[in-house]
Each structure stands twice: as C-alpha cells, then as structure tokens.
C-alpha cells in the first residue's frame, strides 16, 4: 500500500496486542479472567469510566496469548499463536447486521461481507463489546447463542450458523452508573456472563499507574491520586461520576510538560468532570489545598 | 383688714391662708397696695362656686411672688388669676401654684403673657381645663430649658394640636416637660422637627416627642441635629410615618459605629432631597451593607443607587432597599468580606470531598452560648453526618481571596478531625510513637478520684440508668484516668490540634501558606504568656506549639525548662503516621508535667527568653527526659505559697479551630449504632435518654449544666410540627395562615428571604417596574402531596370509560412504531432490491449508478419529558357554571384580613359541594392524561402549586418526574384540592428546574390554570395585575431559555386579555367550555408533542 509509511492498518482479526500493556491488578481479577477464559466463560466488566476496563481486556489478551509467543521465541507473535482482540464500541445505532455482516454491491454482483463479530467467531478472537447497553436490542439475538453452551453465531441472511472457534471469548462492558433505567442490561443477557467489577484503584496503586502513564514524580502522582480519591467523594453530590484514572493521567501528563499543577487539574479534572460552577469551584479548592 | 369679714363667708381655709400671709404682705406692701391685694383675693374668690379654693392658692403663693415681682406685675398676676378662675378653678389653682416657680424663670413683665397663654388654652371645650392645668403644671420644667419666646412657640404648637384634640395637646405638654430637659443642646433642632410635625402630622407629634430622647441616644452626639433636620425634611412628606422613621432609622444607625454616622447622614441628606420616601429604606439597609463593605465603599454603592434612581424611581427604591439584583451585585463587587451563605455550597462540597461524609455547615452562633451551639446541631448530627461551624462572615483580611481562604482553613481543620480520625479514639489501640502507659495508669489514676466522687458517679448512673445501657465511650474511658479533667481535655485538644495541623500541612501543601497566615493571625489574638497563671501558661505554650510548629517562641524564663520538656513530648506527634492514640499518650505525659504545677498568678518581673523549636529535638527516647523534667517541676514549684494560686481556666479558643468535642462525637456515634441495631425492634432510645447521654458527654460532670428545658421543648414541638405539616394541605393552610397573622403587615418591605431547609427553594422575582430581579424574593416549599384514596383514580376512569379508551387509542397511534424503514440509503442493513436493479440498469446503460441502494431500519424514538403544573388556588373551588360570573370577581381583597376571610369563604363553598368544581375537572383530566401517557412512555411529572404571599409558595409533588406511576401517585391525585392564591412565577421556575435534571430531546411545561396569577403582594399597589403577569412571562421566558417549551392552558373566559401578554409568542389556549378540559387536554398534548 502506498500509505504504508504514514499509518498502519490491520485486518480486524489480525490486530494483536504486541507490547505488554501496563496494568496493575487491584485484586484477583487477572486470575479470574484466566480461569474464565480457559472455561470459555463470557465475562461482563462493570465499572465507572476511566477505571481501566479496556486496558484490562488488552492486558489479558496479551497475557493469554503470551505463552504461545514464548514457545516461538519471537518478539513478533504470529497469527496462529496469539489471540486477536476485536473491540467493538457499541452505539445506539449499532444493529445486528453491523455485527454479523451484510451484502455489498460489488461490480455486477452482491458479495457477502462478514461483520466484526463473525470474523472474531471464526478466528477465535476475544471480542470486546464496549458499553454494550448502548447497542440496539436486536444485537442480543446474536449475543445469546454465542454466550451459552451453544457457542454459535447464526447468520440468517445466509442461512448459516458459524460455530465459535475454541479460543473465542466474548467480553462485554457496561457502566452501571450513568445509563438510565431504560438502558439497563436485560436479565437474560446479564445472566450469561461472569461479572467482574472494576472500581477506582486505591490511592497507592492509582499513584503508581499515574506515575507510569504520565511520568510525573511519585509525589505528584500520589497527590493526584489523592485528588482523585477526594473528588470521588463528591459522587452523587454534584458529580454523576467520580474522576477516572485516565483524567488523572492526563493531569499528570500536563504537569509533566510544564503546566502548573493547579491549572492542569483544573482543565483535566474539574472542568472535564462537570459544568456546574459550584462543583468546579469545590474541586478547584481541593486542588488548591493539595497542590501549591 | 378691710375685707376680712367678707372672707368669713367662705370656708375657713380661705381666712386661714389669708391670715398666714397677710402679715408678710403688709410688711412689704404699702397700704394702698395691700388693699388692692386683698381685693384681688376676694375678687378671685367670688369668681365661681369653688373659686375660693383658687383664692386660697393665691394667698399661699403671695409671699413667694412678692419677692419676685414688683407690685405692678403682681396685680396683673392676680388679675389674670381671677380671669382664669372664672373659667376653671382647677386651672387657676394650677396657675397660682405654678407661678411660684415660673416667676423665677421669666421676666416679670412676661408673667402676664404666660398667664394669657394659659387662658387661651382654656375655654374651647369641657376638657380644656385639663389641658390648661397641665400647661401650668409643666411650664416651670419646660422653661428651665427654653427661653420664653421658644416657650411661646411650643404653646402655639399645643394650641394647634388642641384644635384637633385637646387630650392629645395635654399629653403633648406632659411629654414636653419630660423630654425637653433631657435633650439639652438638641432641643432647638428637635423643636423645629416637632413644629413641622404638628403642621403636617399632628397625630404623631406627641409620640415622636416622647421617644426623642431614646432615639437621639443611639446617634452620635454631633450628628444629632443633622439627624433631626433630616427627619424634619422627611416629615414634610405626605403619608410619612415619622414615628417609625425615627424609631427604625435610629435603631439602624445605633447598630453601626458612631464615627460613620456623619457619612451615612450625609448620604441620607442628599437622598432626602431627591426622594425622601426611600431614606428609611436606605438607612435600614446600611447596617447590613456595612457588614460587608467599608464606609468608603458604601459611597460608591450609594452613587450607583443615585444614578439608578434618577432614571427610574421604582428601580432606585428597590436598589436602596437592597431588593434588586444590581444592588446585591454591587455590594458583592465591593466587599472584601466573604459571607458564609455565599460560599456555603462550595464549602460543603469541599468538606464532602475531603472527608467522604455529608457535612452540614452551620453558621456559628454569635456570642459564646454553649447551649445554642451544641443543642440543635446535636440532633442534626444524629440524623445526618457531621456538622461544622463557620462564622457568618469572614472579613479580617484585606482581600476576598484571603477571607475565603480563612473559611477554607477553618473547614480544613475541622474536617481534619474526621479525615485523620480524631473521633475514632480507641482505648486499646496501641500508639505508634510512644510506649503505651494508658493501661497501667488506668487503675492508679482512678484511685485519685475521691471515694465520694466515685459514689456520686455510681449513684447517678443508677438513677439514670443510661451509662449502664451504653457503657462509656472509649474517650470517656481515657479521660477517666485524669483527676483534673478539664485540664486533661485542654491538653488533649492542644496535642491533637498539633498533630492535625501538622498533618494538614504535610498532606495539603497547597493550603499551607494560607494556613500559616491564619495561624499567625490567631497567635496575634492571644493573650501574652506572661499574663497567664502557670498551668494556663503551659497549656498556652502547647497551643503555641500547635500554632507555630517551628521557629522561636518567647517564653518567660521560669517556663523554659518545662517548655523544652513539653516540646520533646509533643514533637513525635508531627511524624506522619501518628494517630489519635499518640496524642492521648502525649497527653498523659504532658498532664503529668502541668498538673504537678500549681496554678500561680502571673509574675510581672519574669523576663522572656527565646525558645527555639528545633524540629530535630525529641526524636530520641523521650521517656527519660520526660521523667527528669517532671521531677524538676515538682522541686521548683513546691516552695511557693498558696495564696496566689488560682482555679484553672481553660484557654481561649483558637479562632479558626472551632470546638473539638471528641466525647460528644463518640457518644453520638454510639447512640447511632445502638439505634441501628434496634431499628427493627422499634424500641429505640427515648429522646430524654439521648439528650442525657449527650449532655453528659458534652459537658464534663464537674461543670454539668442543666440544659434549658424550653430549648428542648421548642425543638420537639418543631419536629412534631414538621411531621404534621408534611404534605397535608390543610395543615399547611393553617400554618401559613398563622404565619400570615404575625407577619402580614409591611410584607413588601422585608426584603430578601432565606431558605433554611432542604425542601425550600428561593427564587428571584421579576419586577418590571425596576427592570430587574428582586433577589431571593420567593420562598417555595416543596412538599409531597398527602395521600387520599386511590379509588378516585379508577372511579374516574370508569366514569369516562369510553373517552379514556378513545384517548388511549389515539395515544397508542403516537407511540413509536418500532423500526421505520428508510429506503435508498448510502449505508444500511441490507440491499434494497428495487434500488439495486435500478443501479444495475443504470450501470449497464452506461450512466453512473446511484450509490444509495441500501435499506436502513431506523428506530423512531419519542424522547419527551413533560411537566404538568396545576393551579390549586382557591378560585378553582368555583362551581363550573359559576365560572362566567366569577370573571369579574377575580380580584382578591387587598386587605390581608379580608383576604384570608375571602379565601376561607371560598374554600367553605367547596366543602359543601354537590357540583363539580374547576379543580375536579383538572383532576379528571389529569387522570385521563396519565392513563394515556403511560402507553407512550413519555417522562412526565405532575405538580400542584398554591400559596399565600411570597414567603409561602407551596409546591406539591403529585408525581415527580422520575417517579413511576404507583398507587401512591394515584392516591395523591385524590387529594388535589383548592387552597390559596396563585403565584405562578416561582412555581414555573421550580418546575423548570425539575425538567432541567431530565435528559430529553423535547421538554414541555404545561400550565393548567383557571385564572390569572394573583396573590397577596403579587399585584402591587397601583399596577394590579401587571406585576404578576410580567413576572409570569419572565418565568416562562426563562423556561424557554432552558430548553423547555411552555404551554398555558386556561379555563378563564377572560383569559385572552392577560394570556396574550403572558405568552406573546408562546403556546396558549383558552378553553371556552371548562367541561371540555378532560377531552381537550390529552388531545392538546398529542398535538403538542408529535
């Protein structure tokens, strides 16, 4: 391809995590994931935004693929030895055919094009449906047979059923906090998954994450982590959602690159979190207490 | 002697009095004169039936008068006396009696004038005698301070008054004689004010005069005359209540410093030339403004007000009364002080963030009323999280930021108690910095408590039976090991503060600089060490440690050794991991040092010496050094005599620290735990018990004080009241009518309101005459509607069964038809066969095929949120067929009393109904609408509103927006009933705020009312409905600005007139026939939201 130098593109089923993502386990979630994977047990990740759900899936994907990499003794894993990660961000217009596939008009004929889910099922990828409650209800028709003992994907339009590859695993995530009751996950769906709850890490762990991700000093990381902790105390008291680690990392990056801490926290934390002036002011005051 | 026989005709008293004085008279007077004198006496006695009594007084007064008046004048004196006696012998008695003193004070030739004046007062009517009497009786007193010509002026005033009312005139004279002598140099300006008054408002003159001395006492001496001339100018206005002007303005001036009176009066003076009517408003507003800004800044505020006043009089009035937003904004801009109410929400969130506990911030009580501080909040604490106290205003510093920081420092310190677990002291938790000696000490120390005390303690427990139930708190256990508990408590507080302040500095480096500034400032406010008795000085040194942390302290020489010992003890508390138990251990050690010392009076000669607070000190083994110092202190102190030993007194509180009550907090959490455990069994602790435990924990037993039973009583009854009134419209009604009784008069003048409980909301109100909002003008209370019978819901539906079905079907048609096919899309789920064929044909025939060959299913979603606002005003109690007639009778009486009566009578009408009222149709329509709405799944809320006056807007929740339709909602609908007046503005604003919290693409506010907005004070003087309509319109505009589409539906036949103004470009509809409402409302809704 002509553009190869300027960007890298992958076929979705060939996207592997090549570098080990940085992930600090808070509890036994890594172990649980591993067991679940080995037992082909679908996983539901719950937790507020910015607590590392996506990062966790990436990390697990890398980790689970790693033993095979070791055997080949090559830094570049091959498609047969590692697990591809297929991330699908769900939105309210995401339909079943977006996942399964559709006919396209090509030249003089129509051609079937597999959707991401169908591809993942075929190659045995970890398919991660992010914010699954956002998707249209008809997608559940696909999720259900894939996540129970049947483990197949029906493709009505072609009159096919695809059996899932043995490595295939469905992981879905949702944030119980902000969706309205209407968008809650149906029980028939949620009872097909093992659920892992990811919450904000304790300050010391969070400080390490911030330190690693942003490169600021341990002191500032700890201060940021404490700011995070304090801010989360405001959840349901003006904030719908506490600050996620991601924002704290942003703040850390800003500080690292020469922005004054108070200002960095203002733009990356208080303004990012809310539009409510009072709440912004309160968070700023906390920031001003913590940072000079 | 010539007439002595004549005298015999009269009672003996006359001759007697004549005889006693005749020798004196004969000595002074020539014979001719003597005869004349005698003749006058007889003349007087002959002037009427009881005129002889006057003659008696004439003779008795003679010796005095003889000395003072030449005979010419004496004759005149007698002559006038006889004239007076002819009219009223009482008056003449008073005349003769008074003349003895008066003649001292006036020139002899004025006596006749004086008498003549008195006579003039006589005569007009039967009661004028009394007036004249009081004239004569009081003359002497008044003349002491006035010249005769001034006196004459006064009497002219009296005459004027007497033309209206003789009694009043007499009272005026009495009053003048009492007040004028006290006024001294202010008498003249005062008189000119009074004469003004008599001319313009004679009724008020006596009252004004009588209050003059108390009024003037409140005003700076040099400014009094100016104040009086200002008042005089005010009094020239029509309809001025000078009495209340004097009273209230002097109170206002009295509440600010005397030295600013000159500036304030200067401004008032200028103001009075432009608009005398608002001077009082201005003066009343000044003390409040001066709490926030300096007198110089007040001038700026005043100038702005003047310029507004020139453009728009009403706006200016509102400005000076502190009711307009511009006035408030200006004050805010000018002031450097920070008011707690302005930053309370921020501070609350700040505290919540730091501590993860719901914190309630209460303004500190003024003064040091310990009960006030601890009682009400204690109950709050039981109910909620914790409470911290901040002062009303922070203004010690020069800038707003610094003042705000002061609040922050206070809050941070108080929160530090929670954050760093001061209240979670546990007796058995080991400390981290010290060797634990608590356990060993516990028995030995308790020996120190005398047997008697122990017995008392046990007895108390038995009687109360409380301690046994709950045991002691951990901290009480700890304090029990000390003999002198107040001392131990103070030491513990200082040690804990030392630990916390250190911790705050480390954990919150950002606040450290402000923190230090506040600490330094607190130090500057403290008593010098050299003035304190020994024990107190040592405790004070501990406090200084906690305030200063590092650097040098000035310590009287005799304490140097002990200070360094204490420093070594307290120092480890600054280690980062130190915990509250460490403070406790430090307390034991410090207590040993301090309690071994007698509390001696300060010794003046002590020299001060520097003590270096070396942070490296005391890191070693502190046990040894401490022992040493303890023995030292014992040695040095025993030899002193005992006469100059004082009782130990707790040190003054550190400004920013608030009160630290670990025992209380632990007691509270103990009770809470207990309550939680016993919640299910319902056998909670009685209120009395709680109070008892808390009071024990709050005040140490040694100084146990009785809690004012009244205070408790009030609280309980308030609680009960609270419970009663919740959501019960009738109770509310009663409540508000009570409120009205006590406060109805002068309601417009009371200015902005305060919201004190969480269900109260304050809203500004638009005053079109000043083109500005009136600040915090309406107090709206949100209440849940009381519940009635849910059968009403079903009955109504049954009654309208065919209509209900019809409406429901119509609504079902509106509901989203699932997925809608969208043809010829660029992208989609499947290929659309027709489009594909066309594209193929195009392609084959050589033209460019369309790319839009897909079929897409789009979800059609209704995303509507709607709030229905029901008018529950009394007028909805009208029977339907009466509606037409009533259009003319809409106007409520202006007089509040009449108004209440009017309301009640209207409600009464409703009670005996057998016919349908407007409100019934409103209810039925709502039932039908709910029934239909449930099918389409729109988010909807139903609220009712009513109220009386701006401080009583009631907002009833029938169905909250987020609430699902439940039996409770149905029951509430039953209770919708006509209540009071209609103040639409705040209700609309509140409903809008309800919608603001909802995430929906389309938002509606449907206002269903029966008449135009109308409430007491909502249609202001002279402008009638304009005011209410303008405010309502602005409220609707605000709603639209917030993305809510308002719609007004009214059943008022006259509606067109005002709705047009109210809704201009907004949706509105007037129902010609109220009976159509149930049918019309759902239809309307359908059309609106499609």
B723 sits in the region (left: phi over 0; alpha: psi -120 to 50; else beta) called: alpha
Residue B820 β-bridge partners: B858
Choose among B981, B850, B1013: nearest CA to B906: B981
Residues B195, B231: contact at Cβ < 8 Å? no
In A, which residues are within 8 Å of B843 by CB distance? 108
pLDDT at B855 over 60: yes
Most confidently predicted of A203-212, B371-380, B470-479, B869-878? A203-212
Share of chain B above pLDDT 90, in %: 0
HSE at residue B56, side-chain half, CA atoms within 13 A, is 17
> A23: distance to nearest CA of chain B, Å?
27
pLDDT at B923 over 60: yes
* DSSP designation for B858: E
Instruction: Output the 3-class SS for B868-885.
Output: EEEECCHHHHCEHHHHHH
Mean pLDDT score, B745-755: 56
State chain A's maximal CA–CA distance in angstroms: 69
Q: Do the chains contact at A289 and B511, CB–CB below 8 Å?
A: yes
A-facing residues of B in 875-894 (CB < 8 A) are none
CB-nearest to B353 from A233, A278, A292 is A233
> A7: distance to nearest CA of chain B, Å?
26
B840 and chain A in contact, CB less than 8 A = yes
**Three-class SS state of A237:** coil
- Where is pLDDT greater, at A71 or B436? B436
B998 and chain A in contact, CB less than 8 A = no
B356 and chain A in contact, CB less than 8 A = yes
ipTM for this model:
0.80
B407 and chain A in contact, CB less than 8 A = no
pLDDT at A253 over 90: yes
pLDDT at A149 over 70: yes
CB-nearest to A237 from B349, B829, B839 is B349
CB-nearest to A286 from B350, B836, B858 is B350
pLDDT at A263 over 90: yes
* pLDDT interval class at B892 (50, 70, 90): low
pLDDT digits (tens, 9 = 90+) for A168-196: 999 998 877 654 444 667 888 888 999 99
Choose among B709, B696, B234, B179: nearest CA to B476: B696
pLDDT at B878 over 50: yes
B408 token code pair: 């922050």
- State the first-to-last Cα distance of chain B, in angstroms, to the nearest integer: 120
- Scan for tokens 């709502």, then name that residue: B926
The domain defined by B864-1089 folds into Rossmann fold (3.40.50)
Give ∠ CA A86-A90-A92 in degrees, rounded to 5.
Answer: 160
Among A187-196, B291-300, B566-575, B742-751, the range scoring the smallest mean pLDDT is B742-751
pLDDT at B866 over 80: yes
CB-nearest to B510 from A110, A278, A288 is A288
Position B538 scores a pLDDT of 84
pLDDT at B446 over 60: no
Residue B721: partners with Cβ closer than 8 Å, 6 or more residues away: B735
What Rg, from alpha-carbon coordinates, does chain A have?
Answer: 21
The nearest alpha carbon in chain B to A277 belongs to B346
In A, which residues are within 8 Å of B510 by CB distance? 262, 287-292
Domain boundaries, chain B: 338-419, 438-664, 819-860, 864-1089
Among B304-313, B754-763, B791-800, the range scoring the smallest mean pLDDT is B754-763
Q: Do the chains contact at A97 and B853, CB–CB below 8 Å?
A: no
- Where is pLDDT greater, at A274 or B683? A274
Residue to test with chain B: of A285, A287, A292, most B Cβ within 10 A? A285
What Rg, from alpha-carbon coordinates, does chain B have?
Answer: 42
Neighbours of B901 (CB within 10 A): 12
In A, which residues are within 8 Å of B408 by CB distance? 285, 289
In B, which residues are within 8 Å of A226 by CB distance? 507
Domain boundaries, chain A: 2-197, 203-290
- Where is pLDDT greater, at B151 or A250? A250
Position B859 scores a pLDDT of 65
Taking one residue from A and the other from B, the number of pairs with CB-CB distance under 8 angstroms is 80
- Where is pLDDT greater, at B652 or B448? B652
pLDDT at B1015 over 80: no
> A194: distance to nearest CA of chain B, Å?
31
CB-nearest to A282 from B353, B355, B857 is B353
- The mean pLDDT value of chain B amounts to 74
pLDDT at B944 over 80: yes
Residue B1070 β-bridge partners: B1050
Choose among B765, B644, B833, B730: nearest CA to B1015: B765
Residue A155: partners with Cβ closer than 8 Å, 6 or more residues away: A100, A101, A118, A161, A162
B1081 token code pair: 């409302």
Dihedral over alpha carbons B493, B495, B497, B500 (to 10 degrees): -130
pLDDT at B747 over 50: no
Q: Do the chains contact at A237 and B999, CB–CB below 8 Å?
A: no
Position B523 scores a pLDDT of 82
Mean pLDDT score, A32-40: 91
* pLDDT interval class at B365 (50, 70, 90): low
- Where is pLDDT greater, at A188 or B369? A188
The nearest alpha carbon in chain A to B844 belongs to A108
How far apart CA B99 and CA B84 sit, in angstroms, is 13
Q: Phi, psi (5° rounding) for residue B941?
A: -130, 150
Position B816 scores a pLDDT of 60
Mean pLDDT score, A100-105: 85
pLDDT at B552 over 50: yes
B507 and chain A in contact, CB less than 8 A = yes
Position A2 scores a pLDDT of 46
Residue B819 β-bridge partners: B859
pLDDT digits (tens, 9 = 90+) for B1042-1059: 888 888 877 766 655 666
CB-nearest to B349 from A105, A278, A291 is A278
CB-nearest to A230 from B347, B353, B512 is B353
Mean pLDDT score, A26-36: 91
Residue B394 β-bridge partners: B338
> A73: distance to nearest CA of chain B, Å?
44
Burial (Cβ within 10 Å: 0-12, 13-18, ≥19) of residue B428: exposed
- The mean pLDDT value of chain A amounts to 83
* pLDDT interval class at B50 (50, 70, 90): confident
pLDDT digits (tens, 9 = 90+) for B20-34: 887 888 888 888 888
B833 and chain A in contact, CB less than 8 A = no
pLDDT digits (tens, 9 = 90+) for B85-103: 887 878 888 888 888 888 7
A263 and chain B in contact, CB less than 8 A = no
Share of chain B above pLDDT 70, in %: 75
Position B917 scores a pLDDT of 74
How far apart CA B770 and CA B783 sit, in angstroms, is 32
* Domain A2-197 = CATH 3.40.50.300: yes
How far apart CA B104 and CA B352 sit, in angstroms, is 79
In B, which residues are within 8 Å of A286 by CB distance? 350, 353-354
Among A229-238, B694-703, B820-829, B886-895, the range scoring the smallest mean pLDDT is B886-895
Position B599 scores a pLDDT of 75
Mean pLDDT score, B548-564: 76
* pLDDT interval class at B1070 (50, 70, 90): confident
Burial (Cβ within 10 Å: 0-12, 13-18, ≥19) of residue B78: buried
The nearest alpha carbon in chain B to A157 belongs to B830
Position A90 scores a pLDDT of 85
* pLDDT interval class at A265 (50, 70, 90): very high
Position B720 scores a pLDDT of 39
Position B1064 scores a pLDDT of 64
Residues B105, B144: contact at Cβ < 8 Å? yes
Position A267 scores a pLDDT of 94
A14 and chain B in contact, CB less than 8 A = no
CB-nearest to A238 from B349, B354, B829 is B349
* pLDDT interval class at B382 (50, 70, 90): very low
Neighbours of B426 (CB within 10 A): 16
Q: Give chain A's length.
A: 292
How far apart CA B406 and CA B521 sit, in angstroms, is 10
In B, which residues are within 8 Å of A264 by CB distance? none
Position B895 scores a pLDDT of 59
* pLDDT interval class at B627 (50, 70, 90): very low
How far apart CA B137 and CA B174 sit, in angstroms, is 9
B152 token code pair: 């004459």
* DSSP designation for B123: S
pLDDT at B685 over 70: no
* pLDDT interval class at B159 (50, 70, 90): confident
- Where is pLDDT greater, at B456 or B895? B895
In B, which residues are within 8 Å of A283 by CB distance? 349, 353
B926 token code pair: 């709502």
Mean pLDDT score, B760-785: 80
């Amino acid at each position: 391809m002509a553009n190869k130098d300027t960007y890298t593109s992958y076929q979705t089923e060939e996207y592997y995590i090549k570098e080990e993502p940085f992930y600090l386990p808070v509890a036994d979630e890594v172990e649980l994931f591993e067991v679940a994977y080995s037992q082909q047990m679908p996983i539901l990740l719950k937790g507020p935004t910015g607590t590392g759900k996506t990062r966790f899936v990436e990390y697990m994907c890398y980790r689970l693929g790693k033993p095979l990499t070791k055997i080949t003794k090559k830094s570049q894993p091959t498609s047969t030895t590692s697990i591809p990660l297929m991330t699908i961000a769900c939105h309210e217009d995401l339909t079943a055919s977006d996942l399964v596939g559709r006919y396209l008009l090509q030249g003089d004929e129509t051609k079937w094009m597999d959707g991401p889910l169908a591809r993942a099922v075929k190659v045995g990828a970890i398919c991660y449906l992010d914010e699954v409650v956002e998707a249209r209800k008809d997608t559940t028709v696909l999720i259900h047979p894939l996540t129970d003992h049947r483990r197949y994907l029906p493709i009505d339009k072609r009159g096919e059923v695809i059996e899932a590859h043995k490595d295939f695993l469905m992981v879905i995530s949702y944030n119980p906090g902000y969706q309205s009751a209407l968008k809650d996950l149906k029980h028939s769906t949620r009872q097909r998954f093992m659920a892992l709850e990811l919450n904000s890490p304790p300050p010391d762990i969070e400080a390490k994450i911030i330190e690693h991700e942003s490169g600021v000093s341990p002191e500032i990381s700890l201060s940021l982590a404490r700011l995070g902790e304090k801010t989360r105390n405001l959840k349901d008291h003006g904030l719908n959602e506490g600050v996620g680690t991601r924002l704290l990392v942003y703040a850390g990056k800003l500080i690292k690159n020469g922005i004054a801490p108070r200002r960095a926290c203002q733009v990356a934390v208080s303004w990012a979190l809310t539009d409510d002036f009072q709440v912004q002011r309160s968070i700023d005051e906390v920031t001003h207490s913590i940072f000079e | 002697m010539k007439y002595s026989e004549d005298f015999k005709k009269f009672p003996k008293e006359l001759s007697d009095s004549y005889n006693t004085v005749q020798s004196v008279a004969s000595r002074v007077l020539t014979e001719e004169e003597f005869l004349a004198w005698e003749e006058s006496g007889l003349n007087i006695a002959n002037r009427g039936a009881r005129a002889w009594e006057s003659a008696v007084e004439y003779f008795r007064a003679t010796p005095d008068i003889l000395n003072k008046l030449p005979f010419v004048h004496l004759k005149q004196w007698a002559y006038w006396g006889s004239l007076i006696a002819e009219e009223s012998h009482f008056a003449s008695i008073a005349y003769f009696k008074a003349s003895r003193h008066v003649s001292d004070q006036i020139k002899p030739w004025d006596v006749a004038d004086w008498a003549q004046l008195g006579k003039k007062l006589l005569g007009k009517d039967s009661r004028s005698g009394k007036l004249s009497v009081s004239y004569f009786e009081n003359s002497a007193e008044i003349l002491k301070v006035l010249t005769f010509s001034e006196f004459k002026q006064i009497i002219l005033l009296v005459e004027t008054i007497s033309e209206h009312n003789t009694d009043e005139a007499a009272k005026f004279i009495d009053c003048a004689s009492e007040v004028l002598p006290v006024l001294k140099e202010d008498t003249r300006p005062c008189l000119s004010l009074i004469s003004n008054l008599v001319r313009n408002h004679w009724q008020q003159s006596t009252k004004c005069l009588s209050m003059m001395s108390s009024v003037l006492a409140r005003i700076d001496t040099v400014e009094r005359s100016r104040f009086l001339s200002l008042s005089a100018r005010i009094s020239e206005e029509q309809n001025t209540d000078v009495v209340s002007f004097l009273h209230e303005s002097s109170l206002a001036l009295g509440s600010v410093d005397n030295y600013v009176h000159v500036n304030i009066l200067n401004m008032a003076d200028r103001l009075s030339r432009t608009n005398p009517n608002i001077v009082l408003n201005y003066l009343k507003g000044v003390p409040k403004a001066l709490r926030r800004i300096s007198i110089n800044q007040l001038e700026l505020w005043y100038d702005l007000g003047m310029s507004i006043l020139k453009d728009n009089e009403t706006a200016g009035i509102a400005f000076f009364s502190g009711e307009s937003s511009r006035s408030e904004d200006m004050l805010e801009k000018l002031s450097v002080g920070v008011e707690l109410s302005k930053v309370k929400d921020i501070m609350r969130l700040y505290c919540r963030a730091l501590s993860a506990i719901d914190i309630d911030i209460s303004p500190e009580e003024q003064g040091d009323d310990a009960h006030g501080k601890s009682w009400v909040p204690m109950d709050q604490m039981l109910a909620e999280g914790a409470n911290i106290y901040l002062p009303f205003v922070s203004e010690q510093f020069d800038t707003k930021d610094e003042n705000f920081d002061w609040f922050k420092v206070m809050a941070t310190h108080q929160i530090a108690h929670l954050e760093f677990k001061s209240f979670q002291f546990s007796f058995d938790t080991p400390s981290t910095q010290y060797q634990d000696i608590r356990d060993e000490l516990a028995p030995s120390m308790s020996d120190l408590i005398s047997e008697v005390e122990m017995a008392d303690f046990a007895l108390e427990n038995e009687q109360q039976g409380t301690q046994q139930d709950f045991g002691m708190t951990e901290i009480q256990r700890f304090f029990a090991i000390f003999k002198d508990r107040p001392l131990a408590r103070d030491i513990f507080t200082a040690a804990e503060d030392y630990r916390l302040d250190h911790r705050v500095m480390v954990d919150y480096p950002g606040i450290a600089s402000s923190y230090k500034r506040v600490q330094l400032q607190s130090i500057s406010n403290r008593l010098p060490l050299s003035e304190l008795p020994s024990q107190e000085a040592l405790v004070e040194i501990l406090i200084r440690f906690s305030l200063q942390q590092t650097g040098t302290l000035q310590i009287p020489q005799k304490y140097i050794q002990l200070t360094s010992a204490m420093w070594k003890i307290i120092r480890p508390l600054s280690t980062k991991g130190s915990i509250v138990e460490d403070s406790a251990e430090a307390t034991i050690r410090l207590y040993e040092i301090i309690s071994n010392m007698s509390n001696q009076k300060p010794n003046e000669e002590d020299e001060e010496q520097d003590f270096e607070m070396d942070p490296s000190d005391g890191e070693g083994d502190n046990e040894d050094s401490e022992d040493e110092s303890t023995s030292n202190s014992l040695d040095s102190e025993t030899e002193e005599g005992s006469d100059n030993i004082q009782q130990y007194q707790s040190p003054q509180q550190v400004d920013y620290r608030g009160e630290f009550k670990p025992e209380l907090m632990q007691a509270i959490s103990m009770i809470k735990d207990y309550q939680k455990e016993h919640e299910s069994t319902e056998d909670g602790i009685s209120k009395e018990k709680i109070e008892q435990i808390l009071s024990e924990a709050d005040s140490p037993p040694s100084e146990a004080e009785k809690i004012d039973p009244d205070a408790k009583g009030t609280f309980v009854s308030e609680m009960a009241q609270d419970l009663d009134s919740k959501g019960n419209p009738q109770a509310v009604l009663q409540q508000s009518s009570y409120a009205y009784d006590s406060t109805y008069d002068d309601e417009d003048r009371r200015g902005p309101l305060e919201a004190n409980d969480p269900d109260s909301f304050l809203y500004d109100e638009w005053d079109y005459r000043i083109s500005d909002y009136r600040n915090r003008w309406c107090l709206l209370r949100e209440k849940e509607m009381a519940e009635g019978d849910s059968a009403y819901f079903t009955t109504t539906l049954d009654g309208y069964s065919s209509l209900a079905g019809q409406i429901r079907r119509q609504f079902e048609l509106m509901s989203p038809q699932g997925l809608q096919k969208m043809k010829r899309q660029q992208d989609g789920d499947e290929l659309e066969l027709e489009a594909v064929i066309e594209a193929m044909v195009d392609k084959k025939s050589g033209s460019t095929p369309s790319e839009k060959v897909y079929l897409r299913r789009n979800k059609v979603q209704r995303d509507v949120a709607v709030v229905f606002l029901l008018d529950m005003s009394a007028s909805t109690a009208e029977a339907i067929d009466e509606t037409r007639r009533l259009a003319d009778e809409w106007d409520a009486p202006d007089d509040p009393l009449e108004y209440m009566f009017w309301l009640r009578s209207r409600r009464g009408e409703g009670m005996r109904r057998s016919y349908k009222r407007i409100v019934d149709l409103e209810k039925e329509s709502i039932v039908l609408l709910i029934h239909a709405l449930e099918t389409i799944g729109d988010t909807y809320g139903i609220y009712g509103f009513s109220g009386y006056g701006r401080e009583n807007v009631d907002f009833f929740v029938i169905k909250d927006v987020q609430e699902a339709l439940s039996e409770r909602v149905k029951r509430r609908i039953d209770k919708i009933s006509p209540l009071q007046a209609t103040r639409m503005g705040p209700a609309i604003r509140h409903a809008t705020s309800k919608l603001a919290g909802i995430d929906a693409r389309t938002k509606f506010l449907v206002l269903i009312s029966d008449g135009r907005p109308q409430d007491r004070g909502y249609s202001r003087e002279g402008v009638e409905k304009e005011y209410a309509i303008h405010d309502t319109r602005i409220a609707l505009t605000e709603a639209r600005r917030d993305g809510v589409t308002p719609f007004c539906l009214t059943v008022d036949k006259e509606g067109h007139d005002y709705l047009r103004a109210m809704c201009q470009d907004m949706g509105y509809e007037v129902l010609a026939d109220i009976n159509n409402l149930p049918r019309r409302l759902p239809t309307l809704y359908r059309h609106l939201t499609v």
